[in-house]
């Protein structure tokens, strides 16, 4: 639904998600491990779909993955890149990055393509696997620092 007054227009919608992946992983119990395991395939399918449509997300990290009723939604396409009209899938552009998830070529600002999304997705997968192994985010962060 929606409504408006003299100053505002408001939309009334259902929440898009219950939480993001970061919070889901922190609260995940062993009873939810089968759901978490299924999310690997869901995220892989989402990225495969995007790349099949000639779109790079370029900002994949756990906070941009929403979780709702055991399903995931990839969000925040503000930095995405569509190469369908230019056929220029490899670029050298500079965008804001999340260093923990950035592929080496993205962090260095050199040529990059859709494989950079796969690197970021791999870091998300490491976080998910860490939870499945019964480890915490702090242990994961310590592992990355070493």
Q: Which two tokens stand for residue 34?
A: 């089968």
Active site residues: 59
What was the pLDDT predicted at 50? 94
Q: Is 76 annotated as a binding residue?
A: yes
- 11 assigned to some structural domain: no
- 80 assigned to some structural domain: yes
- 29 assigned to some structural domain: yes
Pairing of strands 65-68, 71-74: antiparallel
> Which CATH number fits the domain that encloses residue 133?
1.10.510.10
- 9 assigned to some structural domain: no
What was the pLDDT predicted at 45? 96
What was the pLDDT predicted at 91? 66
- Domain holding 98, by residue range, is 18-145
What was the pLDDT predicted at 31? 95
Q: Which two tokens stand for residue 114?
A: 């859709």
- 111 assigned to some structural domain: yes
Counting the structural domains of the chain, the total is: 1
Residue 128 CB-half CA count within 13 A = 26
Task: Give tens-digit pLDDT for 2-44.
Answer: 888 888 888 877 778 889 999 999 999 999 999 999 999 999 9
């Amino acid at each position: 639904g929606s409504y408006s007054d003299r100053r505002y227009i408001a939309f009334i919608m259902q929440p898009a998600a219950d939480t993001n992946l970061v919070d889901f992983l922190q609260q995940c119990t062993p009873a939810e491990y089968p759901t978490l395991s299924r999310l690997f395939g869901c995220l892989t399918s989402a990225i495969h779909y995007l790349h099949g449509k000639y779109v790079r997300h370029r900002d994949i990290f756990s906070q941009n993955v929403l979780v709702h009723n055991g399903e995931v939604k990839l969000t925040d396409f503000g930095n995405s890149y569509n190469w369908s009209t230019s056929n220029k899938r490899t670029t050298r552009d500079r965008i804001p990055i999340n260093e923990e998830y950035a592929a080496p070529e993205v962090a260095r600002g050199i040529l990059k393509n859709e494989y950079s999304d796969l690197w970021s997705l791999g870091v998300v997968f490491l976080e998910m696997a860490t939870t499945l192994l019964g480890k915490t985010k702090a242990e994961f962060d310590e592992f990355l620092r070493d």
